[in-house]
Structure 1
Amino acid sequence: MSTDVATRPTYGNWRRPRRPGLGSLGLIGTFGVFGGLVLILLMSLISLIAAIFVAVPLVVLLAPLMVRTQDGRNLYQLIVLRIGWFRRRAKGATTYVSGPLSPRPGGQFRPPGVLSRVTMAEGRDAYDRPFGVLHHPGRNLYTIVLACEPDGGSLVDPDQADVWVAAWGHWLARLSHEPQLRGAAVIVETAPDPGTRLANEVLPRIRDDAPEAAKAVMREVVERYPSASSEMHTYVALTYGVPAGQKRPKDELVTEIAIRMPGLLSGLVEAGGGTAYPLSAERIAEVVRVAYDPAVAGEVLSVRAQYGTTGLQWEDAGPAATYEAANAYQHDSGVSRTWLLTLAPRGTVRSNVLRAMMEAAPGTRRKRVALLYRPIDPATSARIVEADRRAAQFMASSGRGMVQARAASEMEAAEQTAAEEAAGAGLVEFSLMVTVTVDSKEQLADAAVTVRNLQGAARLSLRPANLMQAAAFACTLPVGVLPWELTLVPQSLQEAL
């Protein structure tokens, strides 16, 4: 007699990109060390005092590169972040006021900060459905937003969940071959159900000649049900870029995106996304409007249910006033705080590792979890994988004891990654951001405790996005704001630091 034991698969093998250079110095610091040693040797031929005169400033300049935080930032990056915060506060950029009574031209309620220059266009896909296209003129980027209604993991066989995970992996791998794609973001937004949709569906259907007891029961259900339920929305934002020096008409680019959209939507459906469809320009404006002013969520749903449309435009989707503090972001009827991922789960996890993080959190007005993906083209992926493989082999052959055991484990993971990449898998950089919105500043402490409990259940390590809360808030919106596209320092230079 034999017994077959069914085992659920686990997932993992993600690693932080290996930084080139010696230890924590980075590539620039390594060049500085070797160049400084050569200069010190040359100065020592002249005199010992000249060599010391060169060595002391060199040590002072290179020492901040060796001190790094848990997420890999050195002291220079922390200093630049704080200087930027002080400059914005001195210029009054931490306060934003819009509308007819503000000094801003146009008298409209445009979104603030990194969204202030964004414009909206609209196209139609192969099924003649309208979809909004956000244009970021600073980097010449174009973003489309897809909405889906995932089936969820309740009452689903483990085999089916594994199929969905595999299909999601194939969809992410496909992004590496998507022409001119700069990045993707999956935003899961949860909020208490305002009860507007239920009321619009039930109350008009109550007949006047129905028994009073039945009518009382239905009205009580409409009144009490929203307090124990929540709404969940899932958005996928895809951001495309135009190569530098190349000018393409906006209409031509919108038409090209419309041709690709059916394939992207079908991939989401296969990955368990349920019903997937593109968001129109009006719907995108509604999402941004509710994010900045959560108190109008019920009103937006009521108007849409009554008239079929809200007529909201992008130029009026922003808040009336915002204030950015060091550790919070206040906007209209809400106060938000955003956390950034510093360390992914170590070891292996199961497919439901982020389930608690995605669910609605009690005591919050709204919560958004944004998964940011940066696809890497196949040629660069092969180069990165081979570099990590060689580095892991070197560490495994030169270490001892516990270091050698850990290096052997890293070598095994690097070999597996190389084999998967050679078989056609894609390489994607990813991160995670969490934004929690509450009604007042006093509730932020409770929200921090909630996020701390959620990250413990998901085996994540998060830190508050202090001194950049406004930009981090915009990154968790489905509008195509990519953090690596906002920096003034090129990505290659950042990796070298």
Structure 2
Amino acid sequence: MSTEAVTHPTYGNWRRPRRPGLGPLGLVGTFGVFGGLILTLLVSLISLTAALVVIGPLLLFLVPLAVRTQDGRNVYQLMTLRIGWRRRKRKGAHLYVSGPLSRRPGGRFRPPGLLNKVTMHEGRDAYDRPFGVLRHAARGQYTIVLGCDPDGGSLVDPDQVDVWVAMWGDWLARLSHEPGLRGAAVIVETAPDPGTRLANEVLPRIAPDAPPAARAVMEEVVQRYPSASSEMHTYVTLTYGVPPGQKRTPDDVLTDLAIRIPGLLSGLVGAGGGAAYPLSAERIAEVVRVAYDPAVAPDVLNARAQHGGTGLEWEDAGPAAAVETVGSYQHDSGVSRTWLLTLAPRGTVRSSVLRGLLEAAPGTRRKRVALVYRPIDPATSARIVESDRRSAQFMATSGRGMVQARAASEVRAAEQAAAEEAAGAGLVEFSLMLTVTVDSDAELADAGVTVRNLSAAARVQLRAADRMQAAAFNCTLPAGLLPWEQTLVPQQLQEAL
């Protein structure tokens, strides 16, 4: 009898994008150093005192660029965040009230903040299924939301998991070839099971002449089973942009997206997404409504079970009131806090590294984990991997000791990334956002401890999105908000800093 060793595939080889420039200064700081040195040398030819006068303000400008936090933010970025928060608070932008008794026109409950100007459209795909499209008119973007029921990793062979991961990587690589695609996100939402669906399925089927003992057993099952279970929903959002100079009506965009949806769904099914389907406009509004007011989740499930739908529109999906503070976001019946990824798992990991982070957390009302993807076109991908390869080789030949050993590992990783990109793999920038919703402010401290334990088990580092909790909360909703598209400073300038 021969035995074969069971191999467990590992994954990794992701890295933080390299910042151009000298060390922590960035591209702007590097230009400032060289420009300042040239100016100082020219001024020193006139007077030494004048050179000292020039070099003083130069140092005051460069030092804040060199001092950075663990997640790479410099002093200027921290100051900008604080100044922006104070300005919003002074203007009252951290408060939101809607509805018939508010000052907002229309008297409806529109979603606040970044979602306030978003409108909803609905079309039908090639299989005549309704799908909702969120239109971000200010940025010329359109978002579709796909739902899926993943198969899960329990009792699945490692070979099958490896196939799913490969198919998921292929699906992400194909996104870089999607015309007009700006970004994508996968949102996994978990919450305690209210038991509404089980009650609607079991209680109406109990026969009137059933024995009292059997009836009592079934009623007890309906009452106690949900306390040990949870519900999980997975959404995939795809945000497309209209190329500059092209004028396209919403109907043209709906027709274009209706053709693409079947192919996107088939890719999700092959990657282990299970049953995949587009979300209708009503279903998207329900998801957002429940996120802002978790207490209405049983009512929404009851309405869908008894009447086939809620009739909810996007104009009424927002909260009646919301208050943003430094470290939390209060909205109707919930209080939320959002964390941002600062460091991905280092080294190689297994496919189950994020399982604990994605599962339902005890003591929370709702939890959403959003994996945000920014596909990079093939031409830019080739340029990036070649630049990383040259940088890694330079560091390997100029270091010593432990530094040289780490640089050699960087060379191997860069060579592997370049070979995979040349073979057709895609390059994607990704990040992670985590939102936890509880019932009151007093429970946020316990939620913070839970998140720290989950992030440690997942080998990721997270930081709270202080002074931008409202925007971060909206970015974890399946509404197609791309964080890098919502900043006042252009993305190219942010990378240079």
TM-score under structure 1 length normalisation? 0.99
1:3 is displaced (CA, Å) by 5.0
Query: What do the CA deviations read for 1:154-207 (whole angstroms, capped 9, x no partner)?
Result: 111111111111110100111111111000000000000011101111111111
Q: Partner residue of 1:30?
A: 30
Q: Partner residue of 2:376?
A: 376
Trace 1:34-183 onto structure 2 (pairs within 5 A): 34-183=34-183
Trace 1:272-351 onto structure 2 (pairs within 5 A): 272-351=272-351
Q: Distance in 1 between matches of 2:485 and 2:156?
A: 38
1:69 is displaced (CA, Å) by 1.1
Query: Does 2:402 correspond to 1:402?
Result: yes
Query: Does 2:439 correspond to 1:439?
Result: yes
Q: Distance in 2 between matches of 1:254 and 1:303?
A: 28
The 3-state SS of whatever aligns with 1:119 is: strand
Q: Distance in 2 between matches of 1:386 and 1:488?
A: 31
Q: Distance in 2 between matches of 1:70 and 1:171?
A: 32
Q: Partner residue of 1:263?
A: 263
Query: What do the CA deviations read for 1:86-114 (whole angstroms, capped 9, x no partner)?
Result: 00000000010000000000000000000
The 3-state SS of whatever aligns with 1:135 is: strand
1:2 is displaced (CA, Å) by 6.8
Query: What do the CA deviations read for 1:272-309 (whole angstroms, capped 9, x no partner)?
Result: 00000000000000000000000000000001100001
1:4 is displaced (CA, Å) by 3.2
For the 8 Å contact 2:341–2:462, the answer to whether it is kept is yes
Q: Partner residue of 1:492?
A: 492
Q: Partner residue of 1:352?
A: 352
Q: Distance in 1 between matches of 2:250 and 2:313?
A: 19
Q: Name the aligned partner's letter for residue 319 of structure 1.
A: P
Q: Distance in 1 between matches of 2:374 and 2:57?
A: 38
Q: Mind listing any 5+ residue stretches in structure 2 that lack a counterpart? A: none
Query: What do the CA deviations read for 1:187-233 (whole angstroms, capped 9, x no partner)?
Result: 00000001110111111111111101111111111111111110000
Q: Distance in 1 between matches of 2:246 and 2:452?
A: 46
Query: What do the CA deviations read for 1:321-348 (whole angstroms, capped 9, x no partner)?
Result: 0000000000000000000000000100
Q: Name the aligned partner's letter for residue 365 of structure 2.
A: R
Q: Name the aligned partner's letter for residue 352 of structure 1.
A: S
Moved over 4 A (4+): none
Q: Alignment identity in percent?
A: 79
Q: Distance in 1 between matches of 2:484 and 2:250?
A: 23
Q: Distance in 2 between matches of 1:279 and 1:60?
A: 53
1:250 is displaced (CA, Å) by 1.2
Q: Distance in 1 between matches of 2:2 and 2:368?
A: 48
Q: Name the aligned partner's letter for residue 47 of structure 1.
A: S
1:243 is displaced (CA, Å) by 1.6
Q: Distance in 1 between matches of 2:303 and 2:248?
A: 38
Q: Mind listing any 5+ residue stretches in structure 1 that lack a counterpart? A: none
Q: Partner residue of 2:225?
A: 225
Q: Partner residue of 2:388?
A: 388
Q: Distance in 2 between matches of 1:83 and 1:245?
A: 35
The root-mean-square deviation of aligned C-alpha atoms, in Å, is 0.8
Number of residue pairs matched? 497
Q: Distance in 2 between matches of 1:282 and 1:242?
A: 25
1:6 is displaced (CA, Å) by 2.2
Q: Name the aligned partner's letter for residue 425 of structure 1.
A: A
Q: Distance in 2 between matches of 1:52 and 1:148?
A: 64
Q: Distance in 1 between matches of 2:496 and 2:155?
A: 48
Q: Name the aligned partner's letter for residue 223 of structure 1.
A: Q
For the 8 Å contact 2:94–2:323, the answer to whether it is kept is yes
For the 8 Å contact 2:292–2:318, the answer to whether it is kept is yes
1:150 is displaced (CA, Å) by 0.3
Q: Distance in 2 between matches of 1:249 and 1:95?
A: 34
Q: Distance in 2 between matches of 1:4 and 1:42?
A: 73
For the 8 Å contact 2:9–2:158, the answer to whether it is kept is no
Query: What do the CA deviations read for 1:75-133 (whole angstroms, capped 9, x no partner)?
Result: 10110000000000000000100000000000000000000000000010000000000
